[in-house]
Amino acid sequence: MSANKSLSRRFLLAGAPAAIASTYAAHSFAASRPISAGSSAQDPRLSPRVIGNPNAPVLVQEWFSLTCTHCAHFATEEFPKIKEQFIDTGKIRYQFHDFPLDQVALIAAMISRSLPEERYLPFISSLFSRQMQWAFSSGDPLEHLRQESALAGISSAEFDKISKDMAFGQALYQRTQQEEQTYSIKGTPYFRFNDKAYAQDPETVEKFAELVKNA
């Protein structure tokens, strides 16, 4: 894996608590738990984002940040094949956990969760595929994110309303803090295959298949 990817992951994780806490840590909210824990919190936007056969024997959970280059690599290079081979065939169910590592990623997560659930995965997939254009190009990344959101039908006024929703931002922040402590998450992407943790990008479908087999 490239040095740039490793640096990005460490830098974002190191700067995340202070950057997000400065805006969103004023109140305490109930954190969400994995599937079937009875928690969609008070806000339906915090409900689980899950695809696949609900009766599949293996639950794969991914914690990701929309500004993490490791996560973008997994989302663009590996996940489409994993979806075709494991999710669409009913072998696994898959749960997405937003785990924003900086302020921009937090707002991106807020926007994605404000869309109808069936548009959540297409939007985050689009953000990952264009990550360099909106998150790391010159200019204000939030303005670039505003443009990406417009392509998904979010007006500029709606973008401002969502991004300034303090209660929603605080809830996502508190969830991130609790899950970081619960699962000892040190970086993204972070996976759980049933109850077995895997704290990095699997990098190949073959490695992912091995992790599913051993779950």
Q: What is the pLDDT along the chain (215 residues), one digit of tens a residue?
A: 333 333 334 334 444 444 444 444 433 333 333 443 334 447 899 999 999 999 999 999 999 999 999 999 999 999 999 999 999 999 999 999 999 999 999 999 999 999 999 999 999 999 999 999 999 999 999 999 999 999 999 999 999 999 999 999 999 999 999 999 999 999 999 999 999 999 999 999 999 999 999 99
pTM given for the model: 0.83
Residue with tokens 């940040």: 65
CATH superfamily for domain 3-24+41-213: Glutaredoxin (3.40.30.10)
Instruction: Cite the beta strand spans of 58-178 per DSSP E.
Output: 58-64, 92-98
Residue with tokens 């805006």: 23
CA 3, distance to chain mean position in Å, is 22
- pLDDT at position 33 is 39
CA 143, distance to chain mean position in Å, is 20
Q: DSSP 3-state helix, strand, coil percentages of the chain (rounded to 5)?
A: 55, 10, 35
- pLDDT at position 13 is 43
Report strand pairing: 49-52 vs 92-98: antiparallel
Residue with tokens 């109808």: 116
- pLDDT at position 204 is 95
The Cα–Cα gap between 204 and 12 comes to: 24
- The residues spanned by each domain of the chain are 3-24+41-213
The pair of three-digit structure tokens given for residue 90, joined into one six-digit string: 């009913």
Task: Sheet with 196-198: list strands edge to edge.
Answer: 49-52, 92-98, 58-64, 190-193, 196-198
The pair of three-digit structure tokens given for residue 34, joined into one six-digit string: 């994995």
Report strand pairing: 196-198 vs 190-193: antiparallel
